[in-house]
Homo-oligomer: A and B are copies of this chain.
Amino acid sequence: MEKKKVAVLGASGYTGSELIRFLLTHPNVEITHLTAEKHAGRMISDVFPHFGGFLDLELKPLRPKSIPKNIDVIFAALPHGTSAAVIEQLYDRDVKIIDLGADFRISSKNYKKWYGQHPCPALIKKAVYGIVELNREKIKKAKLVANPGCYPTSSILGLAPAVKHKLADESSIIIDSKSGVSGAGRSPSLDYHFSEVNEGVKAYKVGDHRHMPEIEEALSNYSGLNVNVSFTPHLIPMDRGILSTIYVNLKKKLTTKKLINIYKEHYKREKFVRISEEMSYPSTNQVRGSNFCDIGIKVNSSGTRAVIVSVIDNLVKGASGQAVQNMNLMLGYDELTGIDATPVFP
């Protein structure tokens, strides 16, 4: 079978490089086109020395019209706004598109409020929100998938069973997320300068982060409820990983054991979701480099409030691994192809 040809737009960031890492091991595809604005003209292995010997491609400037017609799949890892503008020009091609940015994740109304005017709001409705465990069948038929954000992926997978089965009071949800620094991207700034971030923890954009409406929309669509969340992101001095600690009031009393069993049942056919046993809570380092979402659960002694701990690798299940998972579905491959390796610990 001929390999599908893949382009990665925005290949010089961490999301782009992680996409390349997975695509290189994928038996059904080959990377044939890479773009990067700042580094255009350089070889990918010059920008990322770890790829030395693996991929001999030059980074091209981002010009939609210069993307070869024979490309079968386009991954866009671009700044918001840019992404939509580029995808609008490519949409009519015979191509599958997976956008790793924010442009097609939320309704145009929310987009306007949180990001500003959308370049092509009509296209938003054609996109499928690519959280596989909730939207698998739609993704299989999609031409354009909006790959979820990293915080939303950990939050939505942690909450989906609780809201779907109407166990959680949907107005009580508090999500306290902790992210490694790679989630902030690869553009230098004082905020992510080593000595500013190392040996410290901080909260940022408290109640103001753009991933909040994304979480609310996805969970509301999935459950039929009107889900509201309080969301606080924190920056942690480590490269990779997101841990979301989620607090929900329960509509009826439950034990830890019961809630764990509900989660296990809910996710029993999912290969990338692992539920921890009672009294055990996952660390981000047990999913590092992999596409897993591991979830630990505790209900308080009165049975009225649950604490759900959900961990992912922000660059994998929170970005590039999930993007490949989406591609696999869109192209009819086994969902695990290319992303089935074990986590890397330590």
| A residues in contact (CB < 8 Å) with B | 14, 17, 20-21, 24-25, 48-54, 174, 176, 178, 180-182, 186, 188-190, 192-204, 206-207, 230, 232, 234, 236-241, 243, 245, 247, 271, 274, 276, 280-290, 294, 296, 298, 300-301, 305, 307, 309, 311, 341-346
**A17 CA to B52 CA, complexed, in Å:** 26
**A24 CA to B271 CA, complexed, in Å:** 16
Task: Give chain B nearest CB distance to A198 CB in angstroms.
Answer: 6
Given A180-B199, A236-B237, A289-B344, 15 more pairs with CB closer than 8 A: A14-B195, A21-B342, A50-B285, A52-B274, A178-B234, A186-B190, A188-B189, A195-B239, A196-B285, A199-B284, A201-B236, A203-B281, A207-B298, A234-B245, A341-B341
- A274: chain B residues within 8 A (beta carbon): 52-53
- A14: chain B residues within 8 A (beta carbon): 195, 346
Q: Quick one: which of A51, A192, A344 has the most chain B CB within 10 A?
A: A344
22 contacting pairs across A/B (C-beta < 8 A): A14-B346, A50-B285, A51-B342, A52-B274, A54-B342, A174-B174, A178-B234, A180-B195, A180-B199, A181-B194, A188-B190, A192-B194, A196-B346, A198-B237, A198-B346, A200-B283, A200-B284, A201-B238, A202-B284, A203-B245, A206-B298, A247-B247
Q: Quick one: which of A20, A234, A346 has the most chain B CB within 10 A?
A: A346
Task: Give chain B nearest CB distance to A149 CB in angstroms.
Answer: 18
Contact B199 A245 (CB under 8 A): no
Task: Indicate how many identical chains form the complex.
Answer: 4
Contact A239 B198 (CB under 8 A): yes
Please tell me which one of the listed residues B20, B207, B240, B287 contacts residue A346 in the complex, with CB atoms under 8 A apart. B240
* Across the A-B interface, the 9 shortest Cβ-Cβ residue pairs: A200-B285, A202-B283, A50-B343, A195-B346, A188-B188, A176-B176, A206-B298, A181-B194, A50-B286
Please tell me which one of the listed residues B186, B234, B286 contacts residue A195 in the complex, with CB atoms under 8 A apart. B186
Contact A282 B193 (CB under 8 A): no
- A50: chain B residues within 8 A (beta carbon): 285-288, 290, 342-345
Contact A245 B176 (CB under 8 A): yes
Given A24-B342, A50-B287, A186-B195, residue A207 in contact with residue B307 (CB < 8 A)? yes
Task: Give chain B nearest CB distance to A31 CB in angstroms.
Answer: 12
Contact A204 B285 (CB under 8 A): no
- A239: chain B residues within 8 A (beta carbon): 194-195, 198-199, 346
Identify the closest chain B residue to A235 (Cβ).
B283
Q: Quick one: which of A195, A203, A241 has the most chain B CB within 10 A?
A: A195
Identify the closest chain B residue to A238 (Cβ).
B199
Task: Give chain B nearest CB distance to A179 CB in angstroms.
Answer: 9
Please tell me which one of the listed residues B198, B230, B276 contacts residue A300 in the complex, with CB atoms under 8 A apart. B230
Q: Quick one: which of A239, A294, A309 has the most chain B CB within 10 A?
A: A239
- A176: chain B residues within 8 A (beta carbon): 176, 245, 247
